């Protein structure tokens, strides 16, 4: 077991307080801090902090001796790579609308772009690796997101409450086919509109949202939807993603609640802090609310237009831990909250990363102890078994990331 030093990604939508406070650094930070990465992603790996003070890239360490760090079976199963990437995500502004491909789509898309000679770092590259990217977000604070397509009947009620004459034909398009095919038709229409039409429709939608948000007693959900669309339209003027946002479920997570985002799920994180755990991939298909490349035909190939509210995960008891089950084999997230100082067993099984997000703890092994103040993290190789972690103050919170192979 070894402490980790972890990179901070300074995207413009990030917070100037959340990650800085977690790491005990000056607040506010000089630049927005959007994501704190824990893992062996080649673009920005964590570094192992050795007892003698040396630092080693976790990516390079896994590459040099995958069987020792991952275990023999897992090194074979995961092609000698760490299969997951753990993050603290801190959003003060909305992220782009995006979706991720399935495993089969990633393999096919990566091979196609390789054949076409598109450089892997090109801005118009969709598939930077041949892997899928399912992900889980667990809220650390109140967390707001747009996730998946809303049921068409509910979307029709919202669109009619907005009462935007310029959108009447679009509303009737969905009303004539209130199912997945109708959602596909309407989303495709909106995402492919010429800018001249977006310059008319988005301001008209804004006006409808202003009216609805200002009504004395509108449906509470509709008011929240209207305010979200207004916030997005102020940041992304006349962007097709503003129209698309009307079609999506707006979800608010309380701390400890989580969402699993499978392949094809169109989503955008709006605000809040959370622990994000995902397969170790860079494959993203964007759908708007961004100046970055949007490949509409490829996005439409991967999107899942099945509708309905996304299930909110609260986790299930796993000894002294809360375990978040998902269909993904690449990752499994556990959470431990200690209202009073106590010691708990750290589950064994493959490589793991342990992070202290509140309070302070001590990790104990036959080889010695490691202190884990708030913000600290530790790498546990497959051979690091028989460990216990002891919270030192009330309110200590720990997250443990690993794979789901058992």
Give catalytic residue positions.
286
H, E, C per residue of 332-388: EEEEEEECCCCEEECCCCCCEEEEEEECEEEEEECCEEEEEECCCEEEECCCCCCCE
Can you tell me the distance from the alpha carbon of 181 to that of 18, in angstroms, rounded to the nearest whole number?
41
User: CA-CA distances (angstroms) from residue 364 to 125, 129, 340?
Assistant: 45, 37, 18
Proportion of the chain in helix, strand, coil states, percent, rounded to 5 = 30, 30, 40
Angle at the Cα of 310 (from 307 to 313), degrees rounded to 5? 160
Can you tell me the distance from the alpha carbon of 222 to that of 406, in angstroms, rounded to the nearest whole number?
43
List CB contacts of 195: < 8 A, sequence separation 6 or more: 238
User: CA-CA distances (angstroms) from residue 55 to 6, 50, 58, 67, 380?
Assistant: 11, 6, 9, 20, 16
DSSP assignment, residue 167?
Answer: G
Q: Dump the DSSP string for 237-253.
A: TT-HHHHHHTTEEEEEE
Can you tell me the distance from the alpha carbon of 370 to that of 367, in angstroms, rounded to the nearest whole number?
10
Can you tell me the distance from the alpha carbon of 282 to that of 193, in angstroms, rounded to the nearest whole number?
28
Q: Dump the DSSP string for 116-129.
A: TT--TT-TT-S-SS
Residue 163: strand pairing partners: none
- Which two tokens mark 3? 């402490």
């Amino acid at each position: 077991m070894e402490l980790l030093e972890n990179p901070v990604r300074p995207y413009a939508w990030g917070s100037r307080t959340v990650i800085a406070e977690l790491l005990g650094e000056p607040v506010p930070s000089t630049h927005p801090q959007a994501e704190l990465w824990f893992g062996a992603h080649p673009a920005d790996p964590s570094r192992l902090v050795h007892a003698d003070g040396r630092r080693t890239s976790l990516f390079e360490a896994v590459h040099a001796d995958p069987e020792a760090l991952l275990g023999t079976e897992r090194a074979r199963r995961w092609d000698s790579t760490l299969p997951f990437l753990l993050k603290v995500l801190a959003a003060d502004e909305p992220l782009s609308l995006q979706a991720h491909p399935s495993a089969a789509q990633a393999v096919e898309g990566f091979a196609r772009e390789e054949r076409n000679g598109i450089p892997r770092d090109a801005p118009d590259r969709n598939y930077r690796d041949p892997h899928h990217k399912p992900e889980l977000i667990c809220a650390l604070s109140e967390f707001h997101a747009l996730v998946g397509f809303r049921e068409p009947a509910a979307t029709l009620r919202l669109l009619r409450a907005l009462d935007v004459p310029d959108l009447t034909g679009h509303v009737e398009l969905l009303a004539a086919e209130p199912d997945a095919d109708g959602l596909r038709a309407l989303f495709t229409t909106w995402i492919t509109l010429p800018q001249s039409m977006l310059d008319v429709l988005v301001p008209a939608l804004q006006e409808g949202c202003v009216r609805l948000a200002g009504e004395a007693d509108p449906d509470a959900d509709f008011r929240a939807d209207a305010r979200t669309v207004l916030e997005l339209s102020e940041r992304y003027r006349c962007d097709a993603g503003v129209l698309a946002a009307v079609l999506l479920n707006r979800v608010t997570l309380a701390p400890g609640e989580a969402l699993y985002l499978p392949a094809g799920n169109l989503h955008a994180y709006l605000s809040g802090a959370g622990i994000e755990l995902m397969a170790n991939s860079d494959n993203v298909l964007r759908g708007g609310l961004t100046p970055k490349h949007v490949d509409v035909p490829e996005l439409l190939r991967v999107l899942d237009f099945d509708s309905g509210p996304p299930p909110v995960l609260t986790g299930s008891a796993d000894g002294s831990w809360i375990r978040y089950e998902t269909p993904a084999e690449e990752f499994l997230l556990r959470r431990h909250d200690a209202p009073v100082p106590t010691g708990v067993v750290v589950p064994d099984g493959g490589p793991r990363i342990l992070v202290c997000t509140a309070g302070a703890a001590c990790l104990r092994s036959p080889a010695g102890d490691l202190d884990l103040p708030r913000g600290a993290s530790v790498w546990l190789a497959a051979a690091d078994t028989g460990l216990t972690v002891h919270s030192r103050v009330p309110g200590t919170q720990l997250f443990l990331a690993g794979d789901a192979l058992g």
